[in-house]
Structures are given as structure tokens and as C-alpha cells.
A = this chain, B = another copy of it.
């Protein structure tokens, strides 16, 4: 298992980490398998989505903010980040991505994103690589 540290700059932010995962796979040329990306937080998650047009990320965060606004009548949690917990559980805290010959098998437009929902903060994520027997 390898752990990586990243810094986020916004309260809600999708930060691409595809290159970090591909670097971690550099020693796996000739091998197939899958890599688990795991986020050990409760107000940040991970997803896969388009990395070509940055407007997609803008629109995704806009939609999430309108669906799960920062403030809502009835919230009890004193830290004021209940929305962040919901957003993170909807996107999820882990993903597995296939690789072949040491390269991620991503679709043409796919990138892997660390999803910050209560930043800015310093955050971690783990990678665990499994080769196919």
C-alpha cells in the first residue's frame, strides 16, 4: 500500500490524480490487474469522470452544491459540514481501476479525481495494486 498526500484549494474541488496512479504502476509493465484507490476521509471521496473539458467538473460541482447545499434546516452536526458527508458518500470513498501492461485501462475521456467537499485541506489517499494470477 502506498499513501499520497495532496493539498486542496477550494471547499468543493475535483483534483485529478490519474498521473499519480500511472506513476505508481510504472514497475508493473507486462502485468495486468487492478488498483484500489482509497480515500481515508469522511468529507472527501473519489470518482472517475471527464478530464478533457474543465467545464464538466464545474457543472458537476454546481449540481452537487444545488442538490446538497452547505446549509440546510434541521442539520444537527455542529461542524457545519453535513453536506460534505453526504456528497462524499454519494461519490464513494474507493474505486478500483483496471490496468493492462502496467497502464490504467481508462476510457478515452476518463480521469480519476480526488473529490474535496470540505476544503481547503491537506488530504491523503491510498493505492493498493493487485496483479492478476
Given B92, B94, B109, which contacts A42 in the complex, CB threshold below 8 Å? Answer: B109
A30 at the interface (CB under 8 A from B): no
Choose from B63, B79, B86 the contact partner of A82 (Cβ within 8 Å).
B63
Q: How far is the CA of A82 from the CA of B64 in the complex (A)?
A: 12
- A14-54 interface mask toward B, CB cutoff 8 Å, 1 = contact, 0 = none? 00000000000000000010101011111000011110010
In the complex, the count of this chain's copies comes to 3
> Does A6 make an interface contact (CB < 8 A)?
no
Q: Considering residues A1, A95, A100, A110, which has the most beta carbons from chain B within 10 angstroms of its beta carbon?
A: A1
A49 touching B60 in the complex, CB below 8 Å, given contacts A1-B98, A96-B36: no
B58 touches A76 (CB 8 A): yes
Report yes or no: B77 in contact with A59, Cβ–Cβ below 8 A.
Answer: yes
CB pairs A–B below 8 angstroms (6 shown): A36-B96, A39-B107, A42-B56, A49-B85, A56-B82, A96-B96
